[in-house]
């Protein structure tokens, strides 16, 4: 049951921002693509949205928490470390949820490992629901059976299920198990129960040939598809087999635009308003399983902002707001590029992994 809490100043700020964003998102659904294109290309409208945008008022908007390092799959591209580290206790995760709420943040992503292998996941989602926080449950989709669906049903209006998804032909190769049919059926079950669903695709050389098919499967299921280009791991051999070339990545973006034109334009508007290609290093924070806080879950400990076991979240957020100004500077190599204002040199994690600094732009960029 939802409880009525006392509302802090941060809550009001966050509520006004949420109202504006929800209003814009709902209105966008009614508008034709040609008008959205006009909006995306109008500097005046983008500038007005920027003034209204919540990041000016409430800086960090979402927190990802790695609540386990256990997983029963073995995706070869996975960044998640399966080491024996003790990790966050469930008590610590509950107290973090309260801190998130106290800092006026309204979104928590549960990550891992496989979050459903932490038996306390339902109590975390319940607590978020009671505190008015929307949970994003990232899952490999294998465990979302009827029992789990029944447990999640009560929280449906403040829960988004983010399924790690792939093409049937690459499932066996990536995950060393052929789970496609099971995951597909589970997605259909959740869809039937009207859960909000997003499919998350890690795009590699292996599934690149089937990318259009993957998007079409998503479209047929009537769900959103989010794509993350494979982010390199600390293993050159694995990277060689998985990393996309610049041409492949640009082609993938064109394919996305063809299949989901509306989503492509609204994403572009969002990027221009935020002055950023993605939420990382800008308005999202990630608590890793050992307690370290990073601006992107794929990045290295060079970007460590703090440790939730030793510092309050408020203090970590303060530090983040200072550091992100430096991280978001546009590299010299992007001078004159028409996308520079929001692309700002491309993915910061990949740039750092490639050049050990943020001074150079992304090698694989689509001008």
Ligand X SMILES: C[S@@+](CC[C@H](N)C(=O)[O-])C[C@H]1O[C@@H](n2cnc3c(N)ncnc32)[C@H](O)[C@@H]1O
Question: Which residues are at the interface with ligand X (CB under 6 A)?
Answer: 71, 77-80, 111-112, 114, 138-140, 164, 200, 202, 228, 230-231, 233, 298
Q: How far is the CB of 244 from ligand SF4 (least distance, A)?
A: 13
281 CB contacts (<8 Å, ≥6 apart)?
295, 296, 324, 327, 328, 348
- Window 284 to 313, contacts with ligand SF4 (CB under 6 A): 296, 298
Sequence-distant (6+) residues with CB within 8 A of 34 are none
For ligand SF4, which residue of 14, 62, 80, 186 counts as binding (CB under 6 A)?
A: 80
Q: Is 218 in the site for ligand SF4 (CB under 6 A)?
A: no
Query: Do 158 and 101 form a contact (C-beta atoms < 8 A)?
Result: no
CB 255 within 8 A of CB 215: yes
Q: Tell me which residue of 59, 62, 46, 23 sits closest to 268, measured CA to CA.
A: 46
- Distance, in Å, from the CA atom of 276 to the CA atom of 295, rounded to the nearest integer, reads 13
Q: Minimum CB separation from ligand SF4 for residue 176, in Å?
A: 9
Residue 295 φ/ψ region, left for φ over 0, alpha for ψ in the -120 to 50 degree band, beta for the rest: alpha
Give φ, ψ of 60 to 5 degrees: -85, 125
Residue of 62, 134, 207, 362 interacting with ligand SF4 (CB under 6 A): 362
CB 56, min distance to ligand SF4, A = 21
Q: Which is nearer to ligand X, 148 or 273 (CB)?
A: 148
Yes or no: say if 101 and 131 are a contact pair by the CB < 8 Å rule. yes
Segment near ligand SF4 (CB under 6 A); pick from 45-53, 87-95, 106-114, 165-173: 106-114
Binding partner of 230, given ligand X, ligand SF4, none, CB within 5-8 angstroms per partner class: ligand X
Measured from the CB atom, is 31 or 238 closer to ligand X? 238
Nearest to 55 by CA among 313, 321, 301: 321
Count of CB atoms situated within 10 Å of the CB of 16: 14
Comparing CB distances to ligand SF4, the nearer of 36 and 278 is 278
Closest approach of Cβ 102 to ligand SF4, in Å? 26
What minimum distance in Å lies between the beta carbon of 63 and ligand X?
Answer: 15
Q: Does 348 engage in binding with ligand SF4 (CB under 6 A)?
A: yes
Q: Which listed residue (228, 247, 254, 359) binds ligand SF4 by CB under 6 A?
A: 228
**Which 3 state secondary structure label does DSSP give 198?**
strand
CA max distance for the chain: 55
Partner from ligand X, ligand SF4, none contacting 346, C-beta within 5 to 8 A by type: ligand SF4
């Amino acid at each position: 049951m939802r409880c009525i809490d006392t509302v802090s100043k941060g809550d009001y700020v966050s509520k006004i921002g949420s109202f504006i964003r929800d209003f814009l998102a709902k209105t966008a659904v009614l508008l034709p693509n040609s008008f959205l294109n006009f909006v995306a290309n109008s500097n005046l409208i983008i500038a007005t949205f920027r003034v209204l945008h919540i990041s000016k008022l409430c800086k960090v908007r979402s927190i990802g928490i790695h609540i386990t390092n256990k997983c029963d799959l073995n995706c070869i591209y996975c960044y998640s470390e399966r080491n024996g580290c003790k990790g966050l206790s469930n008590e610590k995760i509950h107290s973090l949820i309260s801190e998130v709420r106290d800092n006026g943040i309204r979104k928590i992503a549960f990550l891992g490992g496989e979050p459903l292998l932490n038996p306390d996941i339902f109590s975390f989602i319940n607590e978020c629901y009671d505190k008015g926080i929307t949970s994003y449950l990232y899952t490999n989709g294998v465990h979302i059976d009827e029992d789990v669906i029944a447990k999640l049903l009560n929280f449906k209006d403040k829960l988004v299920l983010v399924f790690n998804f792939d093409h049937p032909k690459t499932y066996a190769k990536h995950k060393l198990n052929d789970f496609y049919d099971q995951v597909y059926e589970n997605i259909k079950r959740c869809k039937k129960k009207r859960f909000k669903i997003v499919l998350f695709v890690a795009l590699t050389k292996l599934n690149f040939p089937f990318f259009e098919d993957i998007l079409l499967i998503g479209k047929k299921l009537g769900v959103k598809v989010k794509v993350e280009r494979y982010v390199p791991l600390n293993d050159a051999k694995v990277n060689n087999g998985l990393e996309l070339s610049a041409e492949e990545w640009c082609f993938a973006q064109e394919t996305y635009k063809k299949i989901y034109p509306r989503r492509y334009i609204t994403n572009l508007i969002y990027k221009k308003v935020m002055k950023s290609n993605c939420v990382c290093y800008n308005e999202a924070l990630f608590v890793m399983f050992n307690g370290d806080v990073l601006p992107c879950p794929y990045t290295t400990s060079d970007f460590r902002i703090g440790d939730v076991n030793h510092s309050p979240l408020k203090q970590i957020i303060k530090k983040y707001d200072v550091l992100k100004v430096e991280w978001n500077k546009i590299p010299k190599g992007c001078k004159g590029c028409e996308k520079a204002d929001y692309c700002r040199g491309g993915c910061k994690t990949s740039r750092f992994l490639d050049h050990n600094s943020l001074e150079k732009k992304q090698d694989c960029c689509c001008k």
